[in-house]
Amino acid sequence: MPYDPVVQLSTCLARQSVMEGRTLAIATYNTKLDDDFQIAVSDPAERAKIEAGMKEVEARIEADMDPFVAARQMDTDEIVEVAALRGWLADLVEMSYQAIGYRRVKNPRIWSMHDIAELTRGARR
In a domain, 34, yes or no: yes
- pLDDT at residue number 3: 59
- pLDDT at residue number 56: 93
In a domain, 42, yes or no: yes
Q: pTM higher than 0.75, yes or no?
A: no
* Phi, then psi, of 3 in degrees rounded to 5: 65, 15
In a domain, 109, yes or no: no
In a domain, 108, yes or no: no
- pLDDT at residue number 16: 81
- pLDDT at residue number 45: 93
In a domain, 114, yes or no: no
Number of structural domains (the chain) is 1
- pLDDT at residue number 1: 44
In a domain, 107, yes or no: no
* Helical pair 44-64 and 21-28, crossing angle rounded to 10 deg: 140
In a domain, 113, yes or no: no
pLDDT per residue rounded down to tens, the chain (125 residues): 455 667 888 998 888 877 888 898 988 888 888 888 888 888 999 999 999 999 999 999 888 888 898 888 888 888 999 999 999 988 888 887 776 655 555 555 555 555 556 656 665 55
In a domain, 66, yes or no: yes
Are residues 67 and 79 in contact, defined by beta-carbon separation less than 8 angstroms?
A: yes
Range(s) of the domain holding residue 77: 9-100
**Cα torsion 121, 93, 82, 79: sign:** positive
Q: Measured between alpha carbons, how far is 37 from 51 in angstroms, rounded to an integer?
A: 12
- pLDDT at residue number 96: 75
